[in-house]
Structure 1
Amino acid sequence: MASVGGCLTGKRNPVVATIYDIPIITSTTEATICGAGSGILKATASEGTIDWYDALGNLLGEGTSFTPSLPIATSTSYYVDATDDPS
């Protein structure tokens, strides 16, 4: 498009914008690990891919469940989110 005297002239092309829902974590299940045992953390999402992270934001795993690496010496928090790539 060109501007002539402050007015736009030329051909205009339509553009389609698609809006997608943002996936959310709908539930989580905690695990308590005692001694040399293991535990499985679980999450469900409204849609998309579930990713598991440590406190520093490092990706640890993907999927609806995650088994932390052992040994865990202290109480540890893990984080989960959901992403969706509709392409």
Structure 2
Amino acid sequence: MVQAFVEIQGPMIEATGKLKQVVAQMQNKETEKKRTFLTLEELRPLPEDTNTYKSVGRTFLLEPKSVLVNEQEKKLMDSENAIASLQVI
């Protein structure tokens, strides 16, 4: 009986570790999704001629609003797809 428990314990520990890893990845993607959504909510009402800047490391680059909105929308879709794929696992 003890031997059966020991045999099952290894896979159980491995499965628990993988589950924790997937949960952490989902939380990270949810946080990224929220941040991206809030950024889009701030960008959309701005006039098209507004100077917008993209952060690249320590530098800020002047970018048209449309480029930033497109990047944020793509990032939002990527986050949603990643969350959906993690939920399937």
Q: Give the TM-score normalised by structure 2.
A: 0.28
* Structure with the higher helix share, 1 or 2: 2
Whichever of the two has the greater Rg, that structure is 1
Q: What is the TM-score when the length of structure 1 is the normalising length? A: 0.28
